[in-house]
A and B are shown apart, each in its own frame.
Chain A
Amino acid sequence: MIDLVMNGLCVKAEEGWSVLETAKFYGLEIPTLCHREGLEEFGGCRLCLVEIGEPPRSKLVTSCTYPAEPGLVVRTDSNRVWSARRMMIELMLSVAPGSKVLQDLASRFGVTRVRFAPRNEECILCGLCVRMCAEQMDGKAISFQQRGYKRKISTPFDLRSEECRLCGGCIYVCPACQLRCQGPHPDTTLCNGCLTMEPTCLEHYDDLQCWMYDAGRCGTCVRDKKV
């Protein structure tokens, strides 16, 4: 067993667990997009960022790829982590505003503005479909192509791949290309239809450990401080 500190609590992790798995075991919620059980970790969406180390020298790492180490000090819901996550949601939302998953995340994390020009694509390059195809479906029909701003996921030569069996696994796991709910503002870049406005907690805790609410769920204290 590995002993580490998570949000000020001493926790134990099994050998080989990642920080994300440890947090999940203790009921600390960390949002993820490119993580899925049964698929290799990718570390691409940067939503599962956590802060490790003591504050002046702390750094942000992706918890899905960071292994639990003895003596590690992890903070899963500090101000820095939340602002980084909000930034990631904002960036991804500007790429794919049509995604319900992203809109829900924006509401949950209090992303109330998008400062970037919307690109209205249906892909955030999380690579879930690529890994689903290669690892679970044994297809290897799609992958990343090109690079930089031209980077995209496609079949060879953009034609139907001979290896594709039309299983639909790639569409099943995709967080960006499903239809958006027909909420209050369906056509805007930012819907915020599910944004919670009422304050549930009036005291501020940096690690969000008020334990009055589900851990990390309410986030009002951090949100009010920052925005």
Chain B
Amino acid sequence: MDIDAAKTQSLIDKHRGLKKNLIAILLDIQEAYNYLPAEALRQVARAVGLPLIDVVGVATFYRAFSLKPRGKHTCLVCLGTACHVRGGQKILEEFEKQLGVPAGETTPDDRFTLETVACLGCCAIGPVVVVDGEYFGHTTLRKVGPIISRFSRAGSRSKPAPRARRAPARKTAKPRGRAARKT
């Protein structure tokens, strides 16, 4: 993806170029480019009035930021205690084998980024795998292949679609339930 200085500047201006909004600015840039390009970080440092090293320090500190281009789909494998005792490590190894990259790397075709996470807070359904915000509980070695093929078949455009479809459905479901209880 090309680095557009004007686009980066508009994201900085959105947060009025303030030092206290540094993380918000970086998050927006991360969303726009899928990673934090070095050129954009330089521009942010200049606009916000911080030394470049401090901006880079913040960008490398948080797991949410990445200085390397990420794949279209982010695949998180939980290795927390509960998932670990249920075989999270084996799930990760299966993902590494099928995607052909070690944890923390992106596949050569830029489709998947494989990452590990310490705990997602839903240990009851462990081992957990999260792809683009979609949770897959009780993952087994056999389910790894279908999860990958589901996202590699869907391509990039269908990524926001399931979220949009799911969100309004939940909203309408709730009042209906309450109304049913009242009557």
Contacts and interface: CB of A to CB of B under 8 A. Distances in A.
Interface of A: 134, 140-147, 155-157, 161-163
B61 A156 contact: no
Nearest to B41: A156
9 contacts: A145-B61, A146-B60, A146-B61, A147-B60, A156-B41, A156-B52, A157-B56, A162-B52, A163-B52
B122 interface: no
Interface in B36-52: 38, 41, 51-52
Contacts of B41: 156
| Highest count of chain A CB atoms <10 Å: which of B38, B41, B56 | B56
B61 A140 contact: no
A155 B61 contact: no
Main secondary structure of the interface of A (DSSP, over half): loop
A144 B51 contact: no
Contacts of A144: 57
Main secondary structure of the interface of B (DSSP, over half): helix
Interface of B: 38, 41, 51-54, 56-57, 60-61, 67
B53 A141 contact: yes
Nearest to B42: A156
A142 B61 CA distance: 15
A142 B50 CA distance: 13
A2 B53 CA distance: 40
Contacts of A157: 38, 56, 67
Contact of B56 (A134, A147, A156): A156
A203 to B, nearest CB: 51
B111 to A, nearest CB: 26
